[in-house]
């Protein structure tokens, strides 16, 4: 079982930056594929970014390309989401997720979420 705890959310003005962190309980977290999702009020949860176990494969949603960066620190069992040039439409609850590496897209492990609010 993997427990994920997000932090770093908050209120920021448009154009500003935030860095989200997701700390994992599992010592094998480095072998997992990690991802960030978000859910805005009244909308479905959507994919934001993903990073495979080696860091050699990274994917971003078109809406965040060039502004957000996903990264990891294996020594700290932590994955990050650096968010720059934030827009009001980035306002959402952000969740980190993880799954064992390999084929398949389902993420069985989720954090509780952290609120990001971008004011115009």
Q: Picking from 29-43, 58-72, 92-106, which range would have the lowest pLDDT averaged per residue?
A: 92-106
pLDDT tens, residue by residue, 67-86: 999 999 989 999 999 999 99
Beta-strand runs (E) in the chain? 4-7, 10-13, 18-24, 32-39, 46-51, 58-60, 68-73, 78-83, 92-100, 109-110, 114-119
């Amino acid at each position: 079982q993997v427990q994920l705890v997000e932090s770093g959310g908050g209120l920021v003005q448009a154009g500003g930056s935030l860095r989200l962190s997701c700390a994992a309980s599992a010592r094998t977290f480095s072998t997992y594929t990690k991802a960030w999702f978000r859910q805005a009020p009244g909308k479905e949860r959507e994919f934001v970014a993903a990073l495979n176990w080696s860091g050699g494969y990274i994917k971003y949603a078109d809406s965040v390309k060039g502004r957000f960066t996903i990264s990891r620190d294996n020594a700290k069992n932590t994955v990050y989401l650096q968010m720059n040039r934030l827009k009001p439409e980035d306002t959402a609850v952000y969740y980190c997720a993880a799954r064992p590496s390999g084929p398949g897209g389902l993420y069985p492990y989720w954090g509780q979420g952290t609120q990001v609010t971008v004011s115009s």
